[in-house]
Amino acid sequence: RTLFTSSFTSPLLNISSNYTDSNYTDKTEESDGNLVVQATVAILLSLLTCATTLSNAFVIATIYQSRKLHTPANLLIASLAVTDLLVSVLVMPISILYTVSHTWTLGQVMCDIWLSSDITCCTASILHLCVIALDRYWAITDAVEYSKKRTRSRAAGMIAIAWVIAISISLPPFFWRQVKAEEVTSCNVNTDHIFYTIYSTFGAFYIPTLLLIALYGRIYVEARKRILKQSPKKTGKRLTSAHLITNSPGSVASTTSLNYGTNETSSCDAVVSANNQVKVTVSDALLEKKRISAARERKATKTLGIILGAYIICWLPFFIYTLLVPICTTCTFYPELFDIFTWLGYLNSLINPIIYTMSNEDFKQAFHKLIRFNCCRS
């Protein structure tokens, strides 16, 4: 009987042992796979954070070093770069840790500081886009009058208003925050207060987005009008310059403007008198200037489309998700999807300095000078 029992249970023990070993191996492989994924995600997000920090730091340094860029409009761009730099320094590094581990280990106080910094800096970055768009709108629709009002103090006032609005959106959660006795394992904005969710999402995104669309729409229309006005026609009047050359002593060269009804002739030498010789030369300088101006308007129009498109692509998924969480109680929400949308919004802080500076020739020249200067010093 003992022999029978032993022979019967031995295979069972082997099966159980094999199952345990197989289960342990599977868990080990799964754990190793998770570590690889986490390490890959951490590296990619760290590279994104470093790129955001460096690009915005270079924008700030370029504006600071170049006196030519010390204008009210560029002051707004510098302030946007400072805001995006704060996002990359204060928000993104901690977000990497939280995204990879999915567990908050830094305590309640650090959670409050991080959340308030996240909401304030990201909202301020979005509002800076509105401030820049508003400045450009006034500059293109009321150029003469606004050129007198376009001062550094006015730009500083607009920047201050953007930060005040951003802070007013980030502060309300502190009033109903409850100190938890147990250990904090998650750090998220409380979505139980649906009115705050609506207030914060509309104040930080939906209203600014409508404002941006309206402003850039008007800027686009005005730019198109200028392009059509500045486009050279096949027939029409052209500006020529006539230089009077006098053979008599003490004579003075003079310049007059002549209008020709055709543009087929590029130059003409004519009219010779006994004492005077008049050399009439058709000038293409004005038409060339118009062509250059029209090209700049087209480039500016394309830039506006890129700015608005990048902003909406980066932030729209996040704010739709954030607004749906407290409203749709029957919906299924995935934390991984929220992480993707969050980092897509952070990506806008990297795109901003690239778009605003690479589309500006003055920035390009100053940026190259800054790089050459640093290379020479090193």
Per-residue pLDDT tens over the stretch 26-35: 566 666 667 8
Kindly state whether residue 4 falls inside one of the protein's structural domains. Answer: no
Please give the pLDDT value at position 238: 47
Please give the pLDDT value at position 107: 87
Q: What is the mean pLDDT of residues 40-60?
A: 94
pLDDT at position 341 over 90 = yes
Number of domains in the chain: 1
Please give the pLDDT value at position 297: 62
Kindly state whether residue 62 falls inside one of the protein's structural domains. Answer: yes
- Give the whole-angstrom CA distance, residue 221 versus residue 199: 32
Kindly state whether residue 9 falls inside one of the protein's structural domains. Answer: no
- Give the whole-angstrom CA distance, residue 354 versus residue 356: 6
pTM for this prediction = 0.75
Please give the pLDDT value at position 234: 43
pLDDT tens track for 275-309: 444 444 445 566 666 666 666 666 766 777 788 89
**Interaxial angle between packed helices 2-65 and 92-101, expressed in degrees from 0 to 180 and rounded to the nearest 10:** 170
Please give the pLDDT value at position 314: 95
Kindly state whether residue 196 falls inside one of the protein's structural domains. Answer: yes
pLDDT at position 90 over 90 = yes
Q: What is the mean pLDDT of residues 345-374?
A: 78
Is the pLDDT higher at 151 or at 238? 151
Name residue 107's amino acid. Answer: G
- Give the whole-angstrom CA distance, residue 289 versus residue 276: 32
Is the pLDDT higher at 309 or at 260? 309
Please give the pLDDT value at position 284: 59
Kindly state whether residue 235 falls inside one of the protein's structural domains. Answer: no
Please give the pLDDT value at position 144: 82
Q: Which of 14-28, 177-191, 243-257, 284-298 tops mean pLDDT? A: 177-191
- Give the whole-angstrom CA distance, residue 274 versus residue 288: 36
Q: Which of 56, 104, 95 is nearest to 77 (CA)?
A: 56
Order of strands, edge to edge, in the sheet holding 238-246? 255-260, 238-246, 276-282
pLDDT at position 49 over 60 = yes
Q: Are 266 and 195 in contact (CB under 8 A)?
A: no
Please give the pLDDT value at position 24: 56
- Give the whole-angstrom CA distance, residue 160 versus residue 150: 16
Domain that holds residue 118: 30-230+282-376
Q: What is the mean pLDDT of residues 176-187?
A: 69
- Give the whole-angstrom CA distance, residue 46 versus residue 50: 6
- Strand positions, DSSP E, the chain: 238-246, 255-260, 276-282
pLDDT at position 48 over 70 = yes
**Interaxial angle between packed helices 361-377 and 2-65, expressed in degrees from 0 to 180 and rounded to the nearest 10:** 100
Q: Are 72 and 135 in contact (CB under 8 A)?
A: yes
Express as a percent the part of the chain with pLDDT over 90.
Answer: 35
pLDDT at position 87 over 60 = yes
Kindly state whether residue 24 falls inside one of the protein's structural domains. Answer: no
Q: Are 111 and 187 in contact (CB under 8 A)?
A: yes
- Give the whole-angstrom CA distance, residue 128 versus residue 233: 40
Q: What is the mean pLDDT of residues 217-244?
A: 62
Q: Are 303 and 359 in contact (CB under 8 A)?
A: yes
- Burial (CB < 10 A; 0-12, 13-18, 19+), residue 77, is buried
pLDDT at position 267 over 70 = no
- Give the whole-angstrom CA distance, residue 96 versus residue 41: 8
Q: Are 69 and 75 in contact (CB under 8 A)?
A: no
pLDDT at position 86 over 50 = yes
Q: What is the mean pLDDT of residues 263-283?
A: 46
Kindly state whether residue 226 falls inside one of the protein's structural domains. Answer: yes
Distances (CA, A) of 236 to 179, 233, 290: 77, 7, 14
Looking at every residue in the chain, the average pLDDT score rounds to 77
Q: What is the CATH number of the domain that holds 172?
A: 1.20.1070.10
Q: Are 127 and 166 in contact (CB under 8 A)?
A: yes
Q: What is the mean pLDDT of residues 235-262?
A: 45
pLDDT tens track for 91-138: 999 999 999 988 898 888 899 899 999 999 999 999 999 999 999 889
The single-letter DSSP state of residue 69 is G
Token pair in block for residue 96: 């990497």
Express as a percent the part of the chain with pLDDT over 70.
Answer: 67
Please give the pLDDT value at position 367: 67
- Burial (CB < 10 A; 0-12, 13-18, 19+), residue 93, is middle
Kindly state whether residue 271 falls inside one of the protein's structural domains. Answer: no
Least confident stretch, 103-107, 216-220, 241-245: 241-245
